[in-house]
């Protein structure tokens, strides 16, 4: 068995959040058209408000936080997306080269229905909805983001996973010509993530195709990304091209690269420190360099909804 080295560049070593914190219904083939008409990401990040094609979606208030969302500039201009560079502003600057149409997703593993499905066909049966989620990175910063998407569980059920399907694995596009960050061994490409199947079926889990009612910008994971609001941000895989149902726990990129720092579950647990910093408090991006830090909430504030998934588990061991 080959051993993969810990990457030479880790998230905390890239850019301190404080440096940038004060800176700034139904889909009927809309994604193909939207991708072709989307505003270039660098322009979107520099704009003063949401841009790009509008997506019809209803607001799901039951699955939304009442906290005010971050600005479009915050959400689209400050990103972790190593496929386009390790700096927080690199994705907005470099992701415009990614072609998001046409797009297809391959379904494999322990399911009765398998094969390649276009993005439009994947989304057609499902009404789009907007949810406002609080997302937190492991670097002690957070954002509140109005995502547009479809429930992940509704999509997965279409493929009729078998009784052997205990996990769901996701894989990102690998294309160094379009994703310049993949030319460097920061991670073992392509990016891979996974969820336990009961986590994936939870109503809070979302396949996002937009934000702020508009088509998803490339730097935020267009055309299809995962959003799991009770977990750390590195669990939100972007530019998904493959979904597999597996019997065994799948390998994930950051857990494979640094298993002592990044566990498979990635649940927000402020009582467990990261090996190199405390996770007990956080600062909201956009609040200003000198804004007071606030206590980090277990499961990122969604404990009432998801804590039951982990009954009997030692969340310090299974981090």
DSSP-assigned beta bridge partners for residue 192:
171
Closest CA to 6 of 251, 233, 254, 179: 254
Give a yes or no: residue 317 inside a domain: no
Question: Helices marked H in 114-185 — which ranges?
Answer: 119-123, 152-157
What is the CA 198 to chain-centroid distance, rounded?
A: 18
Band of pLDDT at residue 291, cut at 50, 70 and 90: confident
DSSP-assigned beta bridge partners for residue 169:
194, 244
Domain count, the chain: 1
Range in 15-29, 150-164, 230-244 the model is least confident about: 15-29
- pLDDT tens-digit profile of 174-220? 999 999 999 999 999 999 999 999 999 999 999 999 999 999 999 99
pLDDT at residue 10 greater than cutoff 80: no
pLDDT at residue 39 greater than cutoff 80: no
b (16+ CB within 10 A) / e for 207-242: bbbbbbbbbbbbbbbbbbbbbbbbbbbbbbbbbbbb
pLDDT at residue 158 greater than cutoff 70: yes
Residue 48: what pLDDT?
64
Give a yes or no: residue 318 inside a domain: no
What is the CA 272 to chain-centroid distance, rounded?
A: 22
Give a yes or no: residue 1 inside a domain: no
Q: Are 85 and 91 in contact (CB under 8 A)?
A: yes
Give a yes or no: residue 266 inside a domain: yes
Angstrom distances, CA of residue 11 to CA of 14, 15, 55, 163, 262: 5, 8, 32, 37, 11
- pLDDT tens-digit profile of 221-276? 999 999 999 999 999 999 999 999 999 999 999 999 999 999 999 999 999 998 89
- pLDDT tens-digit profile of 103-120? 999 999 999 999 999 999
Give a yes or no: residue 316 inside a domain: no
Residue 259: what pLDDT?
95
Q: Which two tokens stand for residue 201?
A: 């079926």
Compute the average pLDDT of residues 26-39: 38
pLDDT at residue 287 greater than cutoff 60: yes
Closest CA to 104 of 132, 89, 123, 85: 123
pTM across the whole model: 0.86
Residue 50: what pLDDT?
85
Give a yes or no: residue 185 inside a domain: yes
Q: Which two tokens stand for residue 78?
A: 């400050």
Residue 26: what pLDDT?
31
Q: Which domain holds residue 300?
A: 11-310
Give a yes or no: residue 5 inside a domain: no
Closest CA to 107 of 156, 52, 152: 156
Range in 32-46, 185-199, 245-259, 277-291 the model is least confident about: 32-46
Chain mean pLDDT for the chain? 87
Q: Are 306 and 230 in contact (CB under 8 A)?
A: yes
**CATH code of residue 245:** 3.90.420.10
Phi, psi of 49 (to 5 degrees): -170, 175
Provide the pairing of β-strand 225-227 with 206-211.
antiparallel
- pLDDT tens-digit profile of 56-97? 899 999 999 999 999 999 999 999 999 999 999 999 999 999
Give a yes or no: residue 6 inside a domain: no
Task: Give a three-class secondary structure readout of 66-118.
Answer: CCCCCCHHHHHHCCCCHHHCCCCCHHHHHHHHCCCCCCEEEEEECECCCEEEE
Between CA 79 and CA 63, with CA 92 as vertex, the angle to 5 degrees is: 45
Closest CA to 92 of 237, 221, 185: 221
- pLDDT tens-digit profile of 70-79? 999 999 999 9
Band of pLDDT at residue 136, cut at 50, 70 and 90: very high
**Gap between the Cα atoms of 217 and 15, Å rounded:** 22
């Amino acid at each position: 068995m080959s051993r993969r080295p810990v990457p030479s560049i880790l998230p905390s070593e890239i850019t301190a959040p404080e440096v940038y914190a004060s800176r700034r219904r139904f889909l009927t083939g809309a994604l193909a058209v939207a991708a072709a008409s989307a505003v270039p990401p660098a322009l979107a990040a520099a704009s003063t408000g949401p841009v790009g094609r509008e997506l019809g979606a209803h607001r799901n208030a039951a699955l939304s936080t009442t906290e005010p969302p971050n600005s479009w500039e915050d959400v689209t201009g400050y990103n972790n997306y190593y496929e386009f560079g390790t700096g927080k502003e690199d994705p907005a600057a470099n992701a415009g080269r990614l072609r998001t149409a046409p797009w297809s997703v391959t379904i494999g593993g322990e399911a009765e229905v398998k094969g390649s499905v276009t993005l439009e066909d994947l989304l057609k049966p499902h009404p789009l909805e907007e949810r406002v989620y609080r997302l937190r990175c492991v670097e002690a910063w957070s954002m509140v983001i109005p995502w547009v998407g479809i429930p992940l569980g509704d999509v997965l059920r279409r493929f009729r996973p078998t009784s052997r399907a205990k996990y769901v694995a996701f894989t990102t596009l690998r294309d160094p010509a379009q994703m310049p960050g993949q030319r460097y061994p920061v991670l073992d490409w392509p990016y891979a993530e996974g969820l336990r199947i009961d986590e994936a079926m939870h109503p809070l889990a979302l396949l996002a195709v937009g934000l702020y009612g508009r088509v998803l910008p490339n730097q935020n994971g267009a055309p299809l990304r995962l959003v799991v609001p009770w977990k750390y941000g590195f669990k939100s895989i972007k530019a998904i091209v493959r979904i597999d149902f597996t019997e065994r726990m799948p390998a994930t990129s950051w857990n494979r690269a640094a298993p002592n720092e990044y566990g498979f579950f990635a649940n927000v647990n402020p009582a467990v420190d990261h090996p190199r910093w405390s996770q007990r408090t956080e600062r909201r991006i956009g609040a200003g360099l000198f804004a007071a830090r606030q206590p980090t909430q277990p499961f990122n504030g969604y404990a009432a909804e998801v804590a039951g998934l982990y009954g009997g588990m030692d969340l310090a061991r299974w981090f």
